[in-house]
Amino acid sequence: MARQTVSHEDGAIYEFTPDLEAITTIDPGTDLTIETRDSLDGAVQDESDVIESVPEEVNAATGPIAIEGATPGDVLRVEIEEIRLAEAQGRVITIDGFGLLDRHEDIDAPRTRMTPVEDGTIAFADLEVPVDPVIGTIGVAPDSESYTTLVPHDHGGNLDTTDVTAGNVIYFPVFQDGAMLAMGDCKAAMADGEMCGTGSEIATEIDATVEVIDAPAIDLERPLVETPDSWKTIASAETLQAACELANRDAIDLLRAEHGFDATDAYMASSLVGGLEISQVVDPLVTVRNAVPKAYLSDPF
Amino acid sequence: MARQTVSHEDGAIYEFTPDLEAITTIDPGTDLTIETRDSLDGAVQDESDVIESVPEEVNAATGPIAIEGATPGDVLRVEIEEIRLAEAQGRVITIDGFGLLDRHEDIDAPRTRMTPVEDGTIAFADLEVPVDPVIGTIGVAPDSESYTTLVPHDHGGNLDTTDVTAGNVIYFPVFQDGAMLAMGDCKAAMADGEMCGTGSEIATEIDATVEVIDAPAIDLERPLVETPDSWKTIASAETLQAACELANRDAIDLLRAEHGFDATDAYMASSLVGGLEISQVVDPLVTVRNAVPKAYLSDPF
């Protein structure tokens, strides 16, 4: 089967809605290359290009891609094989009214810093940071509400989670026929937290393979990511505390299904291994993971 | 210089106060062994021993140990060399009114699970968890307020941070003459987050060496931990968001001192490397770290 390329020029969305229309339909197992533009649609090309306020349209997600045979109740399995940078520089920006420290008086916004790519690193002033790309926005058509690509929720969206990277697999609940996968908003590098509101925003080409899990053994409510060592639940909410509760509840459900624990024993087990991790603290809803090492969890599907 | 042992039987505190009186005074560089009892003072020896409500006295911290020559404005450097388990089992407990999910109706409290130690692991039901000890409570005499050993703050205290472990170094501001170091509340294993409110609570013997950094090059306001790969600021606050802001501000100060950045550039750099990490989400104040890899930060003192 030939590799199929889907470009942001073929179609991109700024909102995940329940009634998305696909720009293409693929069979499960297709070798996909997804081309994404940077989260700011190319508006920032040097340090004099500053962004005064959060744009109405941001984080363009290439797609939607319908997956043949995906129906509500299934799980979509997205294996991320490789993420290649598609331009010679990324950009880190501050925007007034956005970011962890946006009300602090010594923090200047708007500001832009360009981060040139060279020999597997990006440069930020005298820092040489290894390229370690992250897909910031990735998701499927939601159940009933709509979410702009600035917002993370149970359908995915603007998760800004460093584990959404090459070598890992991300799983989504399927809410609509065809699932309607879309992704974009990649970073050449990003810290857990994404404190200033961006990583090094950059255009990419993503190699991925998508499969449909029919009749999954667990009822997946939110995204789940598989790394070489761990399964990590991902939850977004208005506060970090609320996101921690959701992520922990989901980890508890996985531990219960595997070990036959009641909720309390699973909760106690979750307090011993792996643990809570911060994805991002800046988007309209914030995002947290609960990692459980694979030593204690097998494939839940 | 002979190794000096300080036992919880010599003295232990349940509150860090500005006017602590030392049970012993040591010279900097002394080879110390600190014996700690479990956080529940031995009250839980089998699964029928349950804790109905948070005890008034909990997390006994062995000490205080005065360090000769430490004066306010210095930094105390505590190198943790080894943590040995001093009993054959730990315990994980839930307490009504405590823990991330304590209001959830399927979570049963009080409950106790014993975790026997065998061959470098602890057993929780069918889970075999590698022993990886953590010092839960460690700190110095605070500046002006008093804090029970249930509470973390700028003096340290109940930080419940998995990086406070063998092979790492933790640094504290010195607020009072002699610093008045105390530690206890160890766990045989703990997840980041400590969701149910405890790890596997256990008695230990801690080998450590303490040094005083006179005239430090930075003004340390809160604890800082050094791992083999990273420097991590540690901050506690009423909400995770507020703790993230403090931990990020401290990381920004370190990046500024090293790279000559203004606050905004340091903030942007902090969004590219390392990142925010959750220590614990259950104590009266919650605790967060901001890790910065050593590739971008040298010893700040």
Q: Do residue A244 and residue B240 have CB atoms under 8 angstroms apart?
A: yes
Q: What is the dihedral of CA A97, A102, A108, A112, to 10 degrees?
A: -70
Q: Looking at beta carbons, which residues of chain B come within 8 Å of A237?
A: none
Q: Looking at beta carbons, which residues of chain A come within 8 Å of B235?
A: none
Q: Report residue B87 as tokens.
A: 């009993």
Q: What is the dihedral of CA B34, B40, B46, B50, to 10 degrees?
A: -170
Residue A189 in contact with partner chain B when CB distance is under 8 A? yes
Residue B122 in contact with partner chain A when CB distance is under 8 A? yes
CA distance A205 to chain B (A): 20
Q: Looking at beta carbons, which residues of chain B come within 8 Å of A109?
A: 264
> What is the distance between the alpha carbons of residues A243 and A159, in angstroms, rounded to a whole number?
12
Cα–Cα–Cα angle for B127, B163, A255, rounded to 5 degrees: 25
Classify the C-alpha dihedral B198-B203-B207-B208 as positive or negative.
positive
Cβ(A165)–Cβ(A227) below 8 Å: no
Q: Residue A272: pLDDT above 90? A: yes
The pLDDT tens digits of the residues spanning A182-241 come to 999 999 999 999 999 999 999 999 999 999 999 999 999 999 999 999 999 999 999 999
Report the SS3 class of residue B78.
strand
Q: Is B66 exposed, middle or buried (0-12, 13-18, 19+ CB in 10 A)?
A: buried
Residue A281 in contact with partner chain B when CB distance is under 8 A? yes
Q: Do residue A191 and residue B288 have CB atoms under 8 angstroms apart?
A: no
SS (H, E, C) B118-165: ECCEEEECCEEEECCCEEEEEECCCCCCCEECCCEECCEECCCCCCCC
Q: Do residue B193 and residue A276 have CB atoms under 8 angstroms apart?
A: yes
Q: Is the peptide bond before B216 cis (omega within 30 degrees of 0)?
A: no
> What is the distance between the alpha carbons of residues B283 and B233, in angstroms, rounded to a whole number?
18
Which residue, A282, A260, A278, A280, is CA-closest to A269? A260
Q: Report residue A94 as tokens.
A: 């501050």
The pLDDT tens digits of the residues spanning B190-224 come to 999 999 999 999 999 999 999 999 999 999 999 99
End-to-end CA separation in angstroms for chain A: 26
The pLDDT tens digits of the residues spanning A26-63 come to 999 999 999 999 999 999 999 999 999 999 999 999 99
Q: What ipTM did this prediction achieve?
A: 0.98
> What is the distance between the alpha carbons of residues A192 and B52, in angstroms, rounded to a whole number?
37
The pLDDT value given to residue B103? 85
CA distance A52 to chain B (A): 16
B272-301 burial code (b ≥16 CB/10 A, e <16)? bbbbbbbbbbbbebbbbbbbbbeebbeebe
Q: Do residue A270 and residue B191 have CB atoms under 8 angstroms apart?
A: yes
> What is the distance between the alpha carbons of residues B62 and A30, in angstroms, rounded to a whole number?
61
Ordered per-residue pLDDT tens for chain B, 301 residues: 689 999 999 999 999 999 999 999 999 999 999 999 999 999 999 999 999 999 999 999 999 999 999 999 999 999 999 999 999 999 999 999 999 999 899 999 999 999 999 999 999 999 999 999 999 999 999 999 999 999 999 999 999 999 999 999 999 999 999 999 999 999 999 999 999 999 999 999 999 999 999 999 999 999 999 999 999 999 999 999 999 999 999 999 999 999 999 999 999 999 999 999 999 999 999 999 999 999 999 999 9
CA distance B225 to chain A (A): 18
Q: Looking at beta carbons, which residues of chain B come within 8 Å of A290?
A: 193
Q: Report residue A170 as tokens.
A: 């991300």
- Taking CA–CA distances from B103, the nearest residue in chain A reads A245
Which residue, B177, B175, B181, B179, is CA-closest to B144? B175
Q: Do residue B265 and residue A125 have CB atoms under 8 angstroms apart?
A: yes
Q: Do residue A195 and residue B296 have CB atoms under 8 angstroms apart?
A: no
CA atoms within 13 A on the CB side of B140: 30
Query: Which of B93, B249, B267 has the most A C-beta neighbours within 10 Å, making it the best mutation to test the interface with A?
Result: B267
The pLDDT value given to residue A2? 83
SS (H, E, C) B9-24: CCCEECEECCCCCCCE
In total, the C-beta contacts within 8 angstroms joining chain A to chain B are: 207
Neighbours of B78 (CB within 10 A): 26
Type of residue found at B282: V
- Taking CA–CA distances from B188, the nearest residue in chain A reads A272
Question: Which residues are registered as beta bridge partners of B186?
Answer: B135
The pLDDT value given to residue B163? 98
Q: Residue A1: pLDDT above 80? A: no
Q: How many helices (H) and strands (E) does chain B have?
A: 2, 22
Type of residue found at A12: A
Question: Which residues are registered as beta bridge partners of B66?
Answer: B25
Helix, strand, coil content of chain A in percent (nearest 5)? 10, 40, 50
Of B189, B193, B272, the CB nearest to A92: B272
Report the SS3 class of residue A262.
coil
Query: Which of A122, A131, A190, A195 has the most B C-beta neighbours within 10 Å, making it the best mutation to test the interface with B?
Result: A195
Neighbours of B26 (CB within 10 A): 20
Cβ(A272)–Cβ(A139) below 8 Å: no
Type of residue found at A248: N
Range A282-294 average pLDDT: 97
Q: Do residue A127 and residue B275 have CB atoms under 8 angstroms apart?
A: no
List the domains of chain B with CATH numbers: 4-217 (2.60.120.580)
Q: What percent of chain A has pLDDT over 70?
A: 100
> What is the distance between the alpha carbons of residues B185 and A189, in angstroms, rounded to a whole number?
37
Q: Report residue A28 as tokens.
A: 């499960």
Q: Looking at beta carbons, which residues of chain B come within 8 Å of A101?
A: 245, 248-249, 267
Cβ(A206)–Cβ(A181) below 8 Å: no
Q: Is A245 exposed, middle or buried (0-12, 13-18, 19+ CB in 10 A)?
A: buried
Cβ(B160)–Cβ(B61) below 8 Å: no
Of A249, A261, A290, the CB nearest to B125: A261
Query: Which of B195, B236, B259 has the most A C-beta neighbours within 10 Å, making it the best mutation to test the interface with A?
Result: B195
CA distance A31 to chain B (A): 30
Question: Which residues are registered as beta bridge partners of B35?
Answer: B7, B205
Q: Looking at beta carbons, which residues of chain B come within 8 Å of A190?
A: 271-272
Cα–Cα–Cα angle for A51, A57, A58, rounded to 5 degrees: 65
Element (H, E) at A123: strand A121-124
The pLDDT value given to residue B2? 82
Tracing tokens 């040995």 back to the chain, one arrives at: B84
Q: Report residue B155 as tokens.
A: 């003096």
The pLDDT value given to residue A103? 84
